[in-house]
A and B are shown apart, each in its own frame.
Chain A
Amino acid sequence: MPPLLFTLLNNEISLRLGRLSLASKILDTPNCILNTVRGSVLHLTPDNLRLLPFQAVGITLEQFLDVQPPASTKFPGGAHEFFNFQEYLLYVDIHDPAKQIKARVNSDKFISVRTHQGIRQLTLADYLSYMNAYKPDFFAAFSDSLIQKNHGDKRVQKSIDRTLKWLDDTLDRVEEDTNVFGVLGGHGIREERVRSAHETAKRKVAGFLLNVSEIGDTSEERLDLLRTSLSHLPQEKPRLVYGLGTPGDILRAVSEGADLFDTSYPSEMANNGHAFTFKFATDSNASDMTLSMNLWDKSFARDFQPFVPSCECHACQNYTRAYTHHLLIAHEMLANVLLISHNLFVYGRFFERIRNSIKMKTFDEDMRQFLHRYEGQAQIEHSMERDTEPKTKELIIN
């Protein structure tokens, strides 16, 4: 595969503006990678998908591992063509960013993966052979990821050792210019997070993956642990983060130096009948303080406006709240299509506005206003702490 290039477009340590490129494909960061389920973006046929502002798609391998090797690896044209994502940057991970299995048994020989027919085992050799067939633009390294809240120190250390060994094996075996994202670990143990970040950064990886979805009880704790890892990573490589999705968390993670996210949050909200109403860095004096509206609510039965009147998404341009409410009540699948079309569109635009805000050097003020509007005073105070002292020192003290 051609090399994945990452260029930082500004010189700020934490407020990063970057550009990921591979051949003619470009992904400006901060940004998100579209999640898929069995190789499709939830509820969206390819024509509806292409109405949305996205350039990168992530495939979850475990969803195809009911039978190994998966049939899709036998397709001669690679994963881009098989899944009809030719024009997208294609990323592969083993696990689903949205659904981590609770009891995962891994060993030196294999890791456990969740398929539609139950738990299966995957070896490094098989994983690499599937990646060789898929030829994605970049993929997550084989890793001994921990997904329970509490693990002993020894288990955490072992997971990092294993993950690093597998990373070395991987980089030995793959062709040059294979774009592998190193998976960072360390769980809730700061020293181990630092070690994992340092050691992974020494290897020839194209970027880093940090999953904070199962650590910390609050998003503040998750952000704190994220910060611990991020501050030990080199500037010139992209950082993909799972486990943070609300607009407030995205803003905070961006200000900590995260570049890429997944789309679990907008998808989950759509599946719950919610349409995003939040706005970031706009002139509008929106008095609405809610992030989303619940279309199941009876109050929308006779509301003949679009979700967001100024929104340019396909759903808002053509359909009303009352119609979506009707579709939800009638259990019609089109409700999900409209809600996810809107939420993903808004989410994609949200990242566009974040980049623009960083470019215009108004990000801190835009973020402060956003958090004030949507999260209230308490949250703002917390988020403002970040600028008070350089983060790089913080960990060593801990």
Chain B
Amino acid sequence: MKSALLWETVANCSTTKARVSKLILPHGTVDTPVFMPVATQASLKGITCQQLMNLGCQIMLNNTYHLGLRPGQALLNEVGGAHKLQSWERNLLTDSGGFQMVSLLTLAEITEQGVQFQSPHDHNSSILLTPEHSIDLQNSIGADIIMQLDDVVSSLTTGPRVEEAMWRSIRWLDRCIKAHKRPHDQNLFAIIQGGLDVELRNTCLKEMIKRDTPGYAIGGLSGGEEKDIFWRIVTQCTDVLPKDKPRYCMGVGYAEDLVVCCALGVDMYDCVYPTRTARFGNALTAQGILNLKKSRFASDFNPIESDCDCLTCKSYTRAYVHLLATRETVGCHLITLHNVAYQLRLMQQIRTAITEDKYPQFVKQFFKTLFKTKDKYPVWAVNALKSVNIDLMIDDD
């Protein structure tokens, strides 16, 4: 199908499946692998667009479900889309809205037509979200990348429901492609389903690759499944997905997951974790998480991370942030700024290491810094990296 993006791979890792590419979208170039912060309701938790630009953010997420409720489709049409609404000149990605309905709403029922759910405002009426509605709403929002409506089942579900969801997701993709009115400036991504079943995943991959969408997401994961199964599904997908298109792993954002999934050949990620955890006073660092609410930081006059060049670390000590963490909005803003800076810097380091073809060395150093000793390394990560020729248990000379 028609595509509104260009994909140029700049470097391939000679050991793993990792790659560095330029994803050229209607609102500018995105360097991948990329982490996309989540601005659920057209705002990233107290951070201005100018601050995000200063952090080097090239693309962020909005959630279709939330924007559909507030400010609503009519207003989005009137203002000319979400870029204009929030004064964001760079790229946006929207989800289909289906995931939020299934996860936020208890009474969602899925039929062939779409997702039927109770109205959050009026409990006597119900709303039906069809693939056509989702695309129509996403066309109004106007994000540079939009997602198909898929039939989401928990990754812990087994049996015929998984297969039904996979086939339905394919049928819904066809309906989304048909309903999509702006393929010239919005890129519709398919979402690979099939649960944790290798055969179903293969079938879904084959069918969706046939549809030739501008990019692909690996869906139905990050729902509490075993990490050792998670990575196997990811690597199965990246093995088959076309090399000349971006691959997006939805809902992934922990640092070690990003480092492993990049080795498996994933290009794009999003997660609310860095910004959500900031609101609880948690700062992300290369050495692990610091909960700045803890009294041990009251007199700690070091920055959150000494080699971090974010505004928070350049301006304040941990003791100062401790005074504000979870008490004042500024405390939340300062940790959010740091956490987004941390995520974006991690991705920059990943891209640099791949470009210099030193990704295996980078990965080893990353795990050593974060987990200190090998017995603390997550087994799934060790296994996943071994599958792409990095043995974390062997030190380089």
| Co-assembled chains A and B | yes
Residues of A participating in the B interface, judged by any CB pair closer than 8 Å:
37-48, 64, 67, 71-72, 74-76, 82-84, 116, 301-302, 304, 314, 318-319, 322-323, 326-327, 329-330, 332-334, 336-338
Residues of B participating in the A interface, judged by any CB pair closer than 8 Å:
41-51, 54, 66, 70-71, 75, 78-79, 85-87, 298-299, 301, 311-312, 315-317, 319-320, 322-324, 327-334, 337
Q: Is the CB of A330 within 8 A of B79?
A: no
Minimum CB–CB distance for A311 against chain B, Å: 15
Minimum CB–CB distance for B31 against chain A, Å: 24
Q: Is the CB of B50 within 8 A of A314?
A: yes
B334, closest chain A residue (CB): A45
Minimum CB–CB distance for B38 against chain A, Å: 13
Chosen A-B contacts, 19 in total, with CB atoms closer than 8 Å, are A38-B327, A40-B331, A45-B333, A47-B51, A48-B51, A75-B319, A76-B301, A82-B319, A116-B327, A322-B71, A326-B70, A329-B70, A330-B70, A332-B41, A332-B43, A333-B43, A334-B46, A336-B46, A337-B48
Q: A42-B330, A45-B337, A332-B43 are in contact. Are A318 and B87 (CB under 8 A)?
A: yes
* CB < 8 Å neighbour of B323 from A72, A301, A334, A336: A72
Question: What is the CA–CA distance of A38 and B326 in the complex, to the nearest angstrom?
Answer: 12
Residues of the B chain whose Cβ atoms lie less than 8 Å from the Cβ of A76: 301
Q: Is the CB of B70 within 8 A of A322?
A: no
Q: Is the CB of B49 within 8 A of A318?
A: yes
Residues of the B chain whose Cβ atoms lie less than 8 Å from the Cβ of A333: 43, 45-46, 329, 332-333
Question: What is the CA–CA distance of A322 and B49 in the complex, to the nearest angstrom?
Answer: 16
Question: What is the CA–CA distance of A38 and B332 in the complex, to the nearest angstrom?
Answer: 13
* CB < 8 Å neighbour of B75 from A42, A302, A336: A302
Q: Is the CB of A318 within 8 A of B50?
A: yes
What 10 A-B pairs come out closest when comparing CB atoms? A333-B46, A40-B330, A330-B41, A334-B43, A71-B299, A332-B43, A71-B298, A84-B315, A326-B71, A38-B323
Question: What is the CA–CA distance of A74 and B298 in the complex, to the nearest angstrom?
Answer: 10
Q: Is the CB of A44 within 8 A of B50?
A: no
Q: Is the CB of A75 within 8 A of B315?
A: no
A49, closest chain B residue (CB): B330
Q: A71-B319, A301-B75, A319-B87 are in contact. Are A44 and B299 (CB under 8 A)?
A: no
Q: Is the CB of B43 within 8 A of A45?
A: no
A-B contact count (CB 8 A): 115
Residues of the B chain whose Cβ atoms lie less than 8 Å from the Cβ of A48: 48, 51
Residues of the A chain whose Cβ atoms lie less than 8 Å from the Cβ of B43: 327, 330, 332-334
Residues of the A chain whose Cβ atoms lie less than 8 Å from the Cβ of B317: 75, 82
Residues of the A chain whose Cβ atoms lie less than 8 Å from the Cβ of B324: 38-40
Minimum CB–CB distance for A322 against chain B, Å: 7
* CB < 8 Å neighbour of B329 from A83, A304, A330, A336: A336
B333, closest chain A residue (CB): A45
Residues of the A chain whose Cβ atoms lie less than 8 Å from the Cβ of B328: 37-38, 40, 42
Residues of the B chain whose Cβ atoms lie less than 8 Å from the Cβ of A318: 48-50, 87
Minimum CB–CB distance for B279 against chain A, Å: 9
Minimum CB–CB distance for A110 against chain B, Å: 23
Question: What is the CA–CA distance of A47 and B311 in the complex, to the nearest angstrom?
Answer: 8
Q: Is the CB of B71 within 8 A of A301?
A: yes
Minimum CB–CB distance for A307 against chain B, Å: 14
A335, closest chain B residue (CB): B43
Minimum CB–CB distance for B78 against chain A, Å: 6
Residues of the A chain whose Cβ atoms lie less than 8 Å from the Cβ of B49: 318
Q: A39-B323, A71-B298 are in contact. Are A44 and B330 (CB under 8 A)?
A: yes
Minimum CB–CB distance for B373 against chain A, Å: 32
Residues of the B chain whose Cβ atoms lie less than 8 Å from the Cβ of A302: 75, 78
With A42-B329, A47-B51 already in contact, 16 other A-B pairs whose C-beta atoms are closer than 8 Å: A38-B327, A42-B330, A45-B311, A45-B334, A46-B311, A48-B51, A72-B323, A84-B315, A84-B316, A301-B71, A318-B49, A329-B71, A333-B45, A333-B46, A336-B46, A336-B329
